[in-house]
Structure 1
C-alpha cells in the first residue's frame, strides 16, 4: 500500500541530493569505537519525513506496543520529522504504511499545569492542544524515544510486548499541579464508541474504544490501563471538549454520527501535587479487555523501572540483530547505518498479537498488521526467512490459522480486520517459499488446502480476500477488462496486473503441488502460470519498444492503455483501488510487462531476445519510468541476471543506494511499507536478491568485505566474502565466485547455502566479466533460454 496523492509530489522530488557513494565511503571509519554496538548504527528517524511514515518510537521486534509522540500532520507512523507540533503520546502504531493513518489510540497528553489550577483553563481538544517541539532534542534508538516539547516537558518512552512506559519530566511548576490526561481518540479519528474512567485514589485511568481499520473493513475494540508512579495524586476527573471537572469519574462517547470533529476529544485526567517534577506512566494495552490491559502492565513492568525496561528492550534488539555480522573495514558509518537501519525496520512488522486475539481460540501464533502481503512478499519475508526463520515460521502458521477461522488466506490484515486485496492472493507465494526453504512446524496439509481454495473458489467479496474473476481466469486464461463477474464483488479494475499476479500465484501453487506429489494439480497450475502471455500484445509500442501487456476484453479483442500511464513519468497517481483505477495497480505496463519471474526465458524471447531485453531493461531504469519506491520495482533491479548480464544488476543496485536509500530523514523512496524499503537496501547490501516464491537467490557482490548470517534453526553460518573489496564501489563487477573453495558459475544460489552454511567467495573487478553469463548459469525458467 503506497502513497496518498497529496504526498507524491514531494516523494518524487530528488531525494537527499543524490548522495554520491564515493563521497560516503571516503568518510573514514577510523574514528569508530573499538567496541562495536549495533544500536549505534540504527537510526529509527530514517524515513520519518517526506511521506516515509516510518515508526520512529520504541518497540520490540514484532512487538504489539509501539510508543511515540504523535505529530499532527503526516502522522501515519505517529511521529513525522517534518511536522511542527505534537498532539500526544500513544502506544500502538504501524510503520511505513500509505493511505490513512492507523492506530495511535488513547494518547496521553502531559500538561505542566492549568493556569491558576483552573481545570477549564487547560486545553484538551485534539485540534487545539498541539504543542511545538525541538527536532534537535529528539533521541530515537531501538527501544527508546525522547523529545522536548515547547511546554518545557521532556517526554521519554520505552516498551515491553504489550506495555508502553513513559517518563514525563515537568518544568518547575510552583503552585500549579501538573496533569496527564488520556484521550479516547485515535490518529485517523475513527472512534465510534468509547468509555474512560479514573480512580480517585490511585489515579489509574482505564478505558475502551471502538475504532475502524485504516485500510480494510469492520471495526475493532481496544482497551487501555494507565498507572502512575513518582508523584502524589492531586485530583482526578474527566473532560469533554474543553470542559473538565472532578466529577463524575467516568465519561462515555456515543456513535452519534460525528466524524473528524473537535468534539471527538473526551477522556480522563490525573493531576499531581504542585511541584512534582517527574511522573512515570505505565500504559498496558489489550484487544481482550481492560482487565487484560491492566494485567499486561502489571506483569510486564511491575516496578515502573524506566531505565531497566529500556536496557532490557535494547538488549533484546542487540540479540535479534546478532544473527548478522559484517566486516565493515573501509566502509563509512553512513553505509553501515543504511544497512543496519533497514534490517531493524524489517523487524517492526508484522506484529505479534499472540494471546491478544479475541476473534477465536487457538494455540497457534497470531500476527497482525500485514500492510500488505502484496508489498511484503517481495522482500520483507525473504529477509526474515534469512535472519529469523523461527519468526517466519510463526507468521506462516498465523496466516494458515487465519484461513482456518476466516475461510481464506489474507492478502492484507490490520487491527483484527480484513484489509483490501491489491492484486493476487500473495500468501500463496509465501507458503510455497516457506516449503522450499524448509521453514519448520507448518501444517502443510492445511496450507495446501488454503492455496487451492485461493485458486479455485471465488469469495463473495474478493476485494478483501481470495481472487475475483476466477470464471474468466479458468475459461479465458486472463482477467478481461470490463469483466462480467456475477459470482462475487470487488473492484473491476487492474485486469493487467491481476492477470500477471494470478499467473505467478498459480506457478507457486504448481511448485508446491509438485513438491507434495500432486501431479495432476501441478499440470493444471503450471499451465495457468503461462496465462500472462494471453495479455501480451506484440504490436503495442512505446518509446521505440514493441510488445507490452495490454487491455483485453472478454470477447478477445484488444483495447489500449498507454504503457507509460501510471509510471513516474505519466499520471503516477491514477492506478489505485478506486473504481476508475485503470488496468494496472500502482505501476505502468512498462513495469508489469517485466513481471514473469516464473518464465523469464519466454519473456526475453517475446521482447526480442537477449540484447533487446537488456536494452529495454536498461532504458526502463535510466529513463525515469521506474519508481523504486514501489515494491514491484525491486525485482527489475536484478533481472539483468536473467539476460546473462549480472554485472548490470550490481551497477543498478549501486545507482539506487545511496541516491534513493540513505541516512537522511527522507532517506527512502516513498513510504517504507512496513519495512519493505529497508529490506530492499539490506538484502542488496548483503549481496543476494531472493526471488519471491522460489528457492533462488541472485548473487551480487556485498557492500562489505564480508557478511555472515547465522541460521536461526541449524546454527550454521553462511559467509559471503568480497575478496577484492573496493570501498569506493568502483570494482563492483563479479569476476569469479567459489562456493566452499569450488568454482561456482551459476549467477544464483539456493537456500541450502544459508541453511547448511558455507563460504561464498566473490572476486570483483572494474569491468564486467563472463561470470554467470552462459545459458547454463542463468536462473531457472519454465521454458529454455534461446540465446
Structure 2
C-alpha cells in the first residue's frame, strides 16, 4: 500500500517523472502510470535545512513556493528504494513496508542559504497530487514532533470521495519548535488546523495548509529519519501500522526487507540471456516490475464493509489490465491473483456488481464491457481455484450479463434491453433503465460479445448447459455490427479492404463512422468518455474489426480468408493505423497465429520491441496504464502471449536463450529454451518444437505448461517454416468446435 517517491510539478501521475520538473514533496501512496488525472500523493513531506535568517516565515510552505529543482544525475531507483538530491543539497532516500514509508533526509552541514543555520524544518501538507482535497485536519505534538491528520479527497477517475489518514514521526534530532501553516505563512500556535474548500462560484479554492516540526542540528551524520504510517481507517491505525512495521526507524533493515519482498516476486522468473545486452534485459525486468505494482493490497484498510476476504484496490482499469497484467500475475504470482479474484467477488457481494475500474475505495468509470468477467473466467480456466467461491463468482458474471445497474457509467453494462432483443448496442439506443454515456456502440458491442463468450466457457465447465447455449449465441453478436459492404480510404486512396464494423441504428439501418477515425491517422484523441465520444473507444473501427478473440476462425472467414486476413493485419500494422500504446493493439501483434502464420507474429514482436519499448525515458508508448505496457513487453519477451479469458498462450521464440518460470503453487518450474538462438535475432522463426522431448506442432499451449513444470524446446532458423501452420495446430475457436 505504501509507495514512497518524490512528487514533481510536471508529469506527476506516478508522483515522479524524469522530465526535469521541480520537486514539490515526498508522499507515501501512489498509483503508477494511470493515465488521465494523477492519483493519491496525499500528505507530502518537504524538508528544508533551515529558514533563511533563522526566521520561520522565510521558509517555503506552499507547494508553489517550495518547488525545488533536483541535482541532475542524483536520481537512484531500485525495487523498494528511491533517492534524489535537491539543489538545496538535501539528499532524500526512501523505502517502505506494507503501510509505512521511511525517509532518510541528509542535510548539508552549511545550508545553501548563506544566512541560514542548520536547523531543519520538515512540513506535512494537507494536499494530494490532483489537489482534490475537500476538507482536512492536521495537528502536531509539541513534545514529540509527531504530525498526524486526515483529509477527504476525490478519486482520479471515478465518483465519490475517500478519506485518508497519516501519522508522521521523526528520529535523529531534538525538537526545537512546532506549529502549523496556512497559505504561505506559519506560526508556532496553534498546534492544529482544519480546512475546507470554500466552494465559491462552484470552484473550490484548495487553501495550502499543514503542520511542521523544526529541529536542532541532527545528532548523527546530519540525518533525520521520518516514518509515515498511512491508513484508510483512522489516524490511530496509521500510527499503529508505522509502530508495528518499522519500530526502530532502521532504514537499512526496512530497505532489505522491501528488496527481499521484490526478490520473492521477481525470482519466480529467470532468464539465460544468451548474449542479449543490458537494454533488452532492462526492458524485460522493468516490465515485470511495473506489472507487479498494481492492483494494490489494501486488506484490513477497507472501511466500507466488514469482511474476512482480501481487499484489493487500484484497478486502473480492468479494461486495460485484463489484456495482459492479470495473465502475467497469474503466471508469476498466482497467490496474489487468487486474492485479487477473491477481492473482486467480495466487491460484488457488498456492492452488487463487479468493478471495471476502481481506485481509492471508489467506483471508477467503465470504459467498455464488463471486463472483470474476463479476469474471473481466465483465472477459473487456469485452475486458480484455491479458497475461491466460484458459485458466487458465477453469479457475479451472470449479473453483469443480465442485470443493468442504475449507473452503468461505473459498473456493469448499459443497453442490456437492446443487447438481448436486437443483438447489438444501437447508436441511437433507447435505454430508460439506467444512466451512462450513450457512446461507443461499436466497441461496447464487440466487448459485450466477448464477455458473453467467456461466461459461456465458465457455464460449460460448471455444467450450466442452458446458459452455455445462451451466451455462446450472444457471443456472436459482433456480426450484427459488421457491414460487409463498407470500404475504407486513407487520403482518398482506397485501402483495398472491404467489410468493417459500423454504427447501426435501432431500426436496423447503417450509420457511418470513417473506419480510420480515432486512429493516429484521423482525429486520434476524439474517442473518449465524453458525450460526443463517438462509436469506438480509444481506437478505430479498423482496429475493433479484429476484436473477436473467442472465434478468430470465423472472423478470418468473414474478412476474406487466411491470405486476405494476413494482408489486412499487415496493413493495420504498417499503415500507421495501429497505436501500440493502447491495449487493444496488443492481441493483433499475435493474431497471425490464427491464420497459420506464427512467424509473422514473431516479426511484429521484434518490431515493437525495441522500437516502441526500450530503456530510454520515452521507452513506454503512451502511459503505462498501471503496468499494462510492462506486462505486454514481459509476456512478449517470454514468448508466451495470452489470449486472455481463454486457456491459450500463443507461442513465439523468447527474446532470450532460455526463460524459466517457477510456479509458486506447485513449486514446479516451466522452461522455454531456444535452440540455435542468436543475440542479433536473425533466427526468430520456429522450425520445430518439442514438449518434454516429444514433437509439438501446435502454435499455442495451455496453462498446464506452468502448473506441470513442462519444458518447451524451440529450434530456430532464419526463415519461416511450416511449424504451427496446419489447421490442427491453430489455437481454438468457437466455430471450429473447440472451446477451452
Matched, 1:672 2:614: no
Structure 1 residues 526-675: aligned runs within 5 Å: 526-542=472-488, 543-675=495-627
Pairing partner for 2:109 from 172, 175, 191: 172
Change (3 A) 1:103 1:719: same
| Residue 327 of structure 2: aligned partner | 382
| Residue 354 of structure 2: aligned partner | 409
Structure 1 residues 345-494: aligned runs within 5 Å: 345-439=290-384, 440-494=386-440
CA distance in 2, matches of 1:275, 1:442: 52
Deviation digits for residues 622-645 of structure 1 (CA, Å, limit 9, x no counterpart): 111100000010000000000110
Matched, 1:195 2:132: no
Answer with 313-322 or 526-535: which moved more: 313-322
SS in 1 for 2:590: helix
SS in 2 for 1:500: helix
**Pairwise CA distance, 1:233:** 0.4
CA distance in 1, matches of 2:675, 2:408: 51
| Residue 231 of structure 2: aligned partner | 286
**Pairwise CA distance, 1:470:** 0.1
8 Å CA contact 1:185, 1:264 repeated in 2: no
CA distance in 2, matches of 1:323, 1:705: 17
Pairing partner for 1:296 from 229, 241, 245: 241
CA distance in 2, matches of 1:726, 1:175: 61
CA distance in 1, matches of 2:335, 2:569: 37
Pairing partner for 2:5 from 61, 68, 75: 68
Structure 1 residues 111-130: aligned runs within 5 Å: 111-130=48-67
Pairing partner for 1:720 from 672, 678, 682: 672
8 Å CA contact 1:189, 1:264 repeated in 2: no
Q: CA RMSD in A?
A: 1.1
CA distance in 2, matches of 1:175, 1:115: 8
Deviation digits for residues 364-399 of structure 1 (CA, Å, limit 9, x no counterpart): 000000000000000000001011111100000000
**Pairwise CA distance, 1:170:** 1.1
8 Å CA contact 1:175, 1:275 repeated in 2: no
8 Å CA contact 1:126, 1:262 repeated in 2: no
Change (3 A) 1:524 1:659: same
CA distance in 2, matches of 1:275, 1:464: 50
Change (3 A) 1:711 1:151: same
CA distance in 2, matches of 1:497, 1:151: 51
More contact order relative to length (CA 8 Å, sep ≥ 6): 1
**Pairwise CA distance, 1:83:** 3.4
Pairing partner for 1:744 from 696, 703, 708: 696
**Pairwise CA distance, 1:172:** 1.8
Point out where structure 2 has 5 or more consecutive residues left out of the alignment: 111-115, 489-494
CA distance in 2, matches of 1:83, 1:226: 28
**Pairwise CA distance, 1:175:** 3.2
| Residue 729 of structure 1: aligned partner | 681
Pairing partner for 2:16 from 79, 88, 104: 79
8 Å CA contact 1:166, 1:281 repeated in 2: yes
Matched, 1:244 2:196: no
8 Å CA contact 1:241, 1:262 repeated in 2: no
**Pairwise CA distance, 1:129:** 1.4
8 Å CA contact 2:653, 2:685 repeated in 1: yes
Structure 1 residues 93-172: aligned runs within 5 Å: 93-172=30-109
TM-score by length of 1: 0.91
SS in 1 for 2:165: strand
CA distance in 1, matches of 2:14, 2:668: 36
CA distance in 1, matches of 2:700, 2:206: 59
CA distance in 2, matches of 1:673, 1:635: 16
Extract structure 1 runs of 4+ deviating beyond 2 A: 173-176, 258-264, 274-277
8 Å CA contact 2:174, 2:218 repeated in 1: no
| Residue 55 of structure 1: aligned partner | none
| Residue 268 of structure 1: aligned partner | 211
SS in 1 for 2:404: coil
8 Å CA contact 1:747, 1:778 repeated in 2: yes
CA distance in 2, matches of 1:190, 1:550: 39
SS in 2 for 1:131: coil
Point out where structure 1 has 5 or more consecutive residues left out of the alignment: 1-63
CA distance in 2, matches of 1:245, 1:753: 65
CA distance in 1, matches of 2:630, 2:117: 49
CA distance in 1, matches of 2:257, 2:218: 31
**Pairwise CA distance, 1:115:** 1.5
Report the count of equivalent residues: 722
8 Å CA contact 1:74, 1:83 repeated in 2: no
CA distance in 2, matches of 1:728, 1:262: 57
TM-score by length of 2: 0.96
Deviation digits for residues 528-549 of structure 1 (CA, Å, limit 9, x no counterpart): 0000000000111112210000
CA distance in 2, matches of 1:383, 1:176: 49
CA distance in 1, matches of 2:415, 2:20: 43
| Residue 781 of structure 1: aligned partner | 733
